[in-house]
A and B are shown apart, each in its own frame.
Chain A
Amino acid sequence: MATTSTVASSVGSGHAEPAHPAHLQHHFVTSEQQFDAAKMGMWLFLVTEILLFSGMFVAYTVYRVWHPEVFQAASKLLDWRLGGFNTLVLLASSLTVAMAIHFAQKDNRKMLITNLVITVLLAGVFMVVKYFEYTSKFEHGIFPGAHYASHELEMAYAPQFFSIYFIMTGIHGVHVLVGMFLMSWLVIRSMRGHFSSAWYTPVELTGLYWHIVDIIWIFLFPLMYLI
Chain B
Amino acid sequence: MAHAHAHSGDHGHHIIPLKLLLSVFGGLVFLTVFTVLTAEFVDLGPFNIVLAIIIAIIKAGLVVTFFMGLKWDNRVNALIFAVGCIFVIVFLSFTIFDTAFRGDIGNVGKQTIEEEQRALEGTEEAAPAAAH
Contact = CB atoms under 8 A, between A and B. Distances in A.
B36 interface: yes
Interface centre among B28, B36, B68 (most CB of A within 10 A): B68
A24 interface: no
Given A2-B75, A214-B63, A61 B80 contact: no
Interface string B68-103: 100001111100110111011001100110011000
Contact of B99 (A51, A57, A65): A65
Question: A interface, by DSSP: helix, strand, loop or mixed?
Answer: helix
Interface residues of A, number: 54
Contact of B22 (A32, A84, A95): A95
Nearest to B52: A222
B63 A47 contact: no
B36 A61 contact: no
Interface string A200-227: 0000000110010011001101110011
Interface residues of B, number: 51
Interface in B18-44: 18, 21-22, 24-25, 28-29, 32, 35-36, 39-40
Contacts of A57: 88, 92
Q: Determine chain B's interface SS by DSSP, over half rule.
A: helix
Contacts of A214: 63, 67
Interface of B: 4-5, 8-9, 11, 13, 15-16, 18, 21-22, 24-25, 28-29, 32, 35-36, 39-40, 48-49, 52-53, 55-56, 59-60, 63-64, 66-68, 73-77, 80-81, 83-85, 87-88, 91-92, 95-96, 99-100
Which 9 A-B pairs give the minimum distances between C-beta atoms?
A47-B84, A226-B39, A222-B52, A95-B25, A54-B88, A43-B77, A43-B80, A105-B15, A62-B99
Given A39-B73, A39-B74, 8 more contacts: A44-B80, A47-B87, A51-B84, A65-B96, A97-B67, A214-B67, A222-B53, A223-B52
Interface of A: 1-3, 5-6, 9, 30-32, 35-36, 39-40, 43-44, 46-47, 50-51, 54-55, 57-58, 61-62, 65-66, 80, 84, 87-88, 91-92, 94-95, 97-99, 101-102, 105-106, 207-208, 211, 214-215, 218-219, 221-223, 226-227
